[in-house]
Chains A and B, each alone.
Chain A
Amino acid sequence: MCNYFQEQTKDSVRQIIFSSLFSPQGNKADDSRMALLGKLVSMAVAVCRVPVLECAAFWLQRTPAVYCVRLARALVDDYCNLVPGSIQTLKQIFSASPRFCCQFITSVTALYDLSSDDLIPPSDLLELIVSWIFEDPRLILITFLNTPIAANLPIGFLELTPLTGLIRWCVKAPLAYKRKKKASLSNGHPPSKIAKDSTSGEDRDCHQLYSKLHLSVLQVLMMLQGHLTEKNLYGRLGLVPFDHVVPLVEEINRLSDELNPLNASKEIELALDRLAQALQVAMASGALLCTRDDLRTVCSRLPHNNLLQLVISGPVQQPSHGTLPPGFYPHIHTPPLGYPAHAAHPALPAHPALPAHPVQTFIPGMTFPYRPIR
Chain B
Amino acid sequence: PNTPSQTFFVEFHSHLNGQGGCWETQSWAAVLMFCFSILQYEMYTIERNAERTASAGRLLYDMFVNFPDQPAVWREISVITSALRNDSQDKQTQFLRGLFETLPGRVQCEMLLKATEQCFNTLERAEMLLLLLRRFPETVVQHGVGLGETLLDAESIEDQESPVNCFRKLFVCDVLPLIINNPDVRLPASLLYKYLNKAAEFYINYVTRSTQTESQYQGSQDSSDIMSPSKRSSQKYVIDGLTEKSSQITDPWERLFKILSVVGMRCEWQMDKGRRSFGDILHRMKDLCRYISNFDSDAHAKYKNQVVYSTMLVFFKNAFQYVSNIQPSLFQGPNAPNQAPLVLLEDVTNIYGDTDIDRNKHIHKKRKLAEGREKTMSSDDEDPSGKARSRHITVNKADLANSIEVLESFKLARESWELLYSLESLDKEFTRICLSWKTDTWLWLRIFLTDMIIYQGQYKKAISSLHHLAALQGSHSPQQITGQGSLESQRALIQLATCHFALGEYRQTCEKVLDLVCCISLPIQEGGKVQEEQPKVKSKFRKGSDLKLWPCTSRAIMPYCLHLLLACFKLRAFTDSRDDMALGHVVVLLQHEWPRGENLFLKAINKICQQGNFQYENFFNYVTNIDMLEEFAYLRTQEGGKIHLELLPNQAMLIKHHTVTRGITKGVKEDFRLAMERQVSRCGENLMVVLHRFCINEKILLLQTLA
A residues adjacent to B (C-beta < 8 A) = 207-208, 211-212, 214-215, 218-219, 222, 225-226, 229, 270, 273-274, 277, 280-281, 284, 306-307, 310, 313, 315-316, 318-319, 321, 324, 328-329, 331-333, 366-372
B residues adjacent to A (C-beta < 8 A) = 3-5, 7-8, 11, 15, 20-24, 26-28, 30-31, 34-35, 38-43, 45-46, 48-49, 59, 62, 71-72, 75
Q: Which of A208, A225, A306, A370 contacts B39 (CB 8 A)?
A: A370
Nearest residue in B to A270 (C-beta to C-beta)?
A: B20
Contact in complex: B35, A366 (CB < 8 Å)? no
Docked pose: A315 CA to B8 CA in angstroms: 9
Contact in complex: A218, B8 (CB < 8 Å)? no
Q: Which of B24, B26, B38, B59 contacts A372 (CB 8 A)?
A: B59
Docked pose: A214 CA to B48 CA in angstroms: 35
Sample 8 A-B pairs with CB under 8 A, ordered by A number. Answer: A226-B71, A277-B27, A277-B28, A328-B49, A333-B42, A368-B4, A370-B39, A370-B42
Nearest residue in B to A217 (C-beta to C-beta)?
A: B27
The 3 closest A-B pairs by CB, nearest first: A211-B23, A226-B71, A368-B5
Additional A-B contacts beyond A280-B34, A310-B8 (10; CB < 8 A): A211-B24, A214-B27, A218-B30, A218-B31, A307-B11, A315-B8, A316-B42, A332-B72, A333-B42, A370-B39
Q: Which of B22, B38, B62 contacts A315 (CB 8 A)?
A: B38
Min CB gap B154→A, angstroms = 25
Min CB gap B65→A, angstroms = 12
Contact in complex: B11, A284 (CB < 8 Å)? no
Q: Which residues of A contact B15 (CB under 8 A)?
A: 273
Contact in complex: A371, B38 (CB < 8 Å)? no
Contact in complex: A211, B27 (CB < 8 Å)? yes
* Given A310-B11, A324-B49, A372-B40; A315-B35 close (CB under 8 Å): yes
Min CB gap A226→B, angstroms = 4
Contact in complex: A368, B49 (CB < 8 Å)? no
Min CB gap B268→A, angstroms = 53
Q: Which residues of B contact A212 (CB under 8 A)?
A: 23
* Given A310-B11, A321-B49; A316-B31 close (CB under 8 Å): no
Nearest residue in B to A373 (C-beta to C-beta)?
A: B9
Q: Which residues of A contact B20 (CB under 8 A)?
A: 211, 270
Q: Which residues of A contact B71 (CB under 8 A)?
A: 225-226, 229
Contact in complex: A332, B75 (CB < 8 Å)? yes
Nearest residue in A to B43 (C-beta to C-beta)?
A: A370
Contact in complex: B38, A214 (CB < 8 Å)? no
Docked pose: A315 CA to B27 CA in angstroms: 18
* Given A211-B23, A306-B11; A315-B42 close (CB under 8 Å): yes
- Chain A contact residues: over half helix, strand or loop, or mixed? helix
Contact in complex: A222, B30 (CB < 8 Å)? yes
Min CB gap B298→A, angstroms = 56
Contact in complex: B31, A315 (CB < 8 Å)? no
Q: Which residues of A contact B40 (CB under 8 A)?
A: 372
Q: Which of B26, B28, B42 contacts A318 (CB 8 A)?
A: B42
Docked pose: A218 CA to B28 CA in angstroms: 10
Contact in complex: B45, A369 (CB < 8 Å)? no
Contact in complex: B4, A214 (CB < 8 Å)? no
Contact in complex: A333, B38 (CB < 8 Å)? yes
Docked pose: A371 CA to B36 CA in angstroms: 11
Docked pose: A204 CA to B22 CA in angstroms: 13
Docked pose: A211 CA to B23 CA in angstroms: 5
Nearest residue in A to B75 (C-beta to C-beta)?
A: A332
Nearest residue in B to A330 (C-beta to C-beta)?
A: B75
Contact in complex: B8, A368 (CB < 8 Å)? yes
Min CB gap B49→A, angstroms = 6
Docked pose: A285 CA to B122 CA in angstroms: 31
Contact in complex: B4, A215 (CB < 8 Å)? no
Q: Which residues of B contact A331 (CB under 8 A)?
A: 42, 45
Most chain B CB inside 10 Å of its own CB: which residue of A225, A284, A368: A368
Q: Which residues of A contact B26 (CB under 8 A)?
A: 215
Min CB gap A320→B, angstroms = 11
Docked pose: A368 CA to B24 CA in angstroms: 25
Q: Which residues of A contact B11 (CB under 8 A)?
A: 306-307, 310
Q: Which of A313, A324, A372 contacts B4 (CB 8 A)?
A: A313
Docked pose: A102 CA to B4 CA in angstroms: 40
Q: Which of A208, A329, A332, A371 contacts B23 (CB 8 A)?
A: A208
Min CB gap A333→B, angstroms = 5
Min CB gap B449→A, angstroms = 56
Contact in complex: B31, A280 (CB < 8 Å)? yes
Contact in complex: B5, A215 (CB < 8 Å)? no
Docked pose: A329 CA to B71 CA in angstroms: 15
Q: Which of B27, B34, B45, B62 contacts A329 (CB 8 A)?
A: B45
Min CB gap A353→B, angstroms = 29
Contact in complex: A333, B72 (CB < 8 Å)? yes
Min CB gap A200→B, angstroms = 16
Nearest residue in A to B32 (C-beta to C-beta)?
A: A277
Min CB gap A240→B, angstroms = 15
Q: Which of A207, A225, A280, A324 contacts B35 (CB 8 A)?
A: A280
Nearest residue in A to B92 (C-beta to C-beta)?
A: A328
Q: Which of B5, B23, B30 contacts A370 (CB 8 A)?
A: B5
Q: Which of A219, A284, A328 contacts B30 (CB 8 A)?
A: A219
Min CB gap B45→A, angstroms = 7
Docked pose: A328 CA to B45 CA in angstroms: 11
Contact in complex: B43, A372 (CB < 8 Å)? yes
Contact in complex: B38, A284 (CB < 8 Å)? yes
Nearest residue in A to B12 (C-beta to C-beta)?
A: A307
Q: Which residues of A contact B59 (CB under 8 A)?
A: 372
Docked pose: A57 CA to B28 CA in angstroms: 34
Min CB gap B605→A, angstroms = 91
Contact in complex: A214, B23 (CB < 8 Å)? yes
Min CB gap B511→A, angstroms = 69
Docked pose: A205 CA to B242 CA in angstroms: 62
Contact in complex: A371, B30 (CB < 8 Å)? no
Q: Which residues of A contact B28 (CB under 8 A)?
A: 273, 277
Q: Which of A208, A225, A321 contacts B21 (CB 8 A)?
A: A208
Q: Which residues of B contact A284 (CB under 8 A)?
A: 34-35, 38
Docked pose: A309 CA to B502 CA in angstroms: 103
Q: Which residues of B contact A306 (CB under 8 A)?
A: 7, 11
Docked pose: A324 CA to B7 CA in angstroms: 32
Min CB gap A209→B, angstroms = 9
Min CB gap B40→A, angstroms = 7
Q: Which residues of A contact B24 (CB under 8 A)?
A: 211, 214, 270
Docked pose: A300 CA to B21 CA in angstroms: 29
Q: Which residues of A contact B38 (CB under 8 A)?
A: 284, 315, 333
